Amino acid sequence: MNEMQVSVIFVNYNTEKMTVEAVKSVFDKTDGVDFEIIVVDNASADNSVNGLKKAFGNKITVIESKENLGFGRGNNLAINMANGKYVFLLNTDTLLINNAVKILFDFMEKNPEAGVCGANLYDAGGNPTYSFRKRFLPENELLLNNIFKAVKQRITKKIPDYFNYKNKNMRVDAVTGADMMIREEALDKSGLFDADFFMYLEEDELTSRIAKCGYLSYSVPEAKITHLVCGSFCGAENNEKRLTMHAYGEFLFYEKVYGIESAVKHYKKRLQFINILNVLSFGILRKYCALKKKALNEAYSEWKKRNLSV
């Protein structure tokens, strides 16, 4: 049995100050559990490595990558070095509100069927934000269901499919990669993050493989973490790039979990949804829909090129 209980892992890219604060929050809030902190630096150009070493010295391990590996491959570097019984993946734009590491560790110890668990996440204002997915992206979700969920969320101001409003643990299909505690034993069986993903949906794809190995995923609301959602990819200038990368991640997810034909169906349904949304909004969302459509088409084109080359 491993002596180290939890390996806390961050992947940093040009977010020196944010990463320092995130690491500090782990040291400040964590008690009653043996842990190590590993930070992977994805070839940052902002002096991140020197800043982290100056702030923490040998209290943390810093892995310097010579290239930007993205989220999944960056985490893979650290996971391969981790000594913990569990790995706890944290975004650099997170701050622990309470002793979340211990709370999640205790939950995993008491529930051997759990392969993955995560906390309730809150934005900078303390409002509930995306913490998990109640079900994986369905292969053929109805267009009307998408519209209904969007309208319901606007009216109720609640996101029940993505946040745990109850004071009890809940089974979910996938927790967000912003705070993902994973049983090392489960990773030994499922494998690590798929290297084809750069960013977005890689945690869902990995969780689907962990589930196929017989493990479950849980939301643990007692654990609370702030997710600022403003890391290395923040800013309006990156909005189109984010949308394109997210759409590409979705195509990869559908391809790998459901098959190539399902990814093609997903493209057609998303395009249909955007067109209908534009019509129903009477032009109010014209610019937004145009941006979404452009990003979707660019991502689909890149995805098709990938499949032709494989």
CA dist 71 and 220 (Å) reads: 23
Say if 1 falls within a structural domain.
Answer: no
pLDDT in tens, 254-281: 999 999 999 999 999 889 888 988 898 8
Report for 79-93, 159-173, 262-276: range of highest mean pLDDT: 79-93
Q: What Å distances lie between residue 76 and 65, 71, 125, CA to CA? A: 12, 9, 32
What DSSP string runs through 212-276?
HTT-EEEEEEEEEEEE---STT-SGGGHHHHHHHHHHHHHHHHHHHT-HHHHHHHHHHHHHHHHH
- Looking up tokens 């309208």 gives 151
CATH of the domain at 104: 3.90.550.10
Residue 310 has pLDDT above 80, yes or no: no
Half-sphere exposure of 259 (CA within 13 A, CB side): 5
Tokens matching residue 165: 């409003």
Tokens matching residue 99: 């002793």
The pLDDT of residue 1: 40
Q: What is the mean pLDDT of residues 285-306?
A: 93
In this structure, are 296 and 201 located in the same domain?
Answer: no
CA dist 97 and 39 (Å) reads: 20
The pLDDT of residue 276: 87
Report for 2-6, 12-16, 282-286: range of highest mean pLDDT: 12-16
The pLDDT of residue 161: 79
Sheet strands (E) in 213-290: 216-227
Say if 98 falls within a structural domain.
Answer: yes
Domain termination residue (choose one: 167, 196, 227)? 227
Say if 199 falls within a structural domain.
Answer: yes
pTM of whole model > 0.95?
no
Q: What is the mean pLDDT of residues 158-183?
A: 91
